Amino acid sequence: MALPNQLCFALVIFLSIFSLSSLPASAIFPKVNVSLPGHLSKLVENLCNDNVVENRKFCLKALSTHKAIATRDSTQLGTLIMKLGAANVKATLNVYDEITKKPGSPQALKALNCCVETYKYAILSFEMVSSELVEGPQTANYDVAVIGPEIANCEKELIDAKVKNPRLLARNQFMKYYIEMGYEITSTLELENPNEY
């Protein structure tokens, strides 16, 4: 892994830990009745048990679908993770759009608009990474890693503008989890195909 990738990823991990320490558990893990199937695919188990994936429970829940269980290789699982990440981004954008319509301070509106632009960038990145998984996992790995600092900047803007919304904090946290999962699957693809890059 190249040094810039390591730095980006270290920043993502640090900011994830830092932001988790200030959130109540209910903001991070909304009450969802999802039962995990008795047989997860080995790919899913390996991914969710890796040290990079900080929230194993979230990873297992997100990847407990029939589509995830049916994946046959890392590329298929990576494509699914990118689709799930993009869907999360779109849902988060809906939350931001809803909140920006409510009256607030100019600083809050500026911070919210910064985050909207960040999430628009994230959608493009997740979609781009999906196509890069086959062509170049190293590029895909970098492209998923650079989303993390953008989300960190969004969070900083919200904090500086004193925007305290548990829904936004939770959505940003979910985003970090998808970035971790995406980073891990693209790293796995790099290791599986070392001679191609």
Query: Residue 107 above 90 pLDDT?
Result: yes
Under 8 Å CB-to-CB from 111, ≥6 apart: which residues? 154, 157, 158, 160, 161, 163
Q: Render pLDDT for 125-173 as a digit per residue (tens, 0 to 9).
A: 998 888 888 778 888 889 999 999 999 999 999 999 999 899 999 999 9
Q: What's the start-to-end Cα distance of the chain, in Å?
A: 12
Is 25 within the bounds of a domain? no
Number of domains in the chain: 1
Could you tell me if residue 43 is inside a domain? no
Closest CA to 61 of 39, 85, 81, 35: 35
**Residue 32 within a domain:** no
Q: Which two tokens stand for residue 140?
A: 């895909």
Q: Is residue 134 part of a domain?
A: yes
In a domain, 68, yes or no: no
CATH number at residue 101: 1.20.140.40
> Is 185 a member of any domain?
yes
Q: State the residue range of the domain holding 175.
A: 75-193
Maximum alpha-carbon separation in the chain: 55
In which band, very low, low, confident or very high, does the pLDDT at 8 lie, cut at 50, 70 and 90?
A: very low
What are 147's two structure tokens? 């989303």
Contact 168, 99 (CB under 8 A): yes
Helices (H), the chain: 3-21, 25-28, 42-48, 56-62, 66-69, 74-100, 106-135, 137-145, 147-160, 166-192
**Residue 34: pLDDT band with limits 50, 70, 90:** very low
The pLDDT assigned to 42 comes to 86
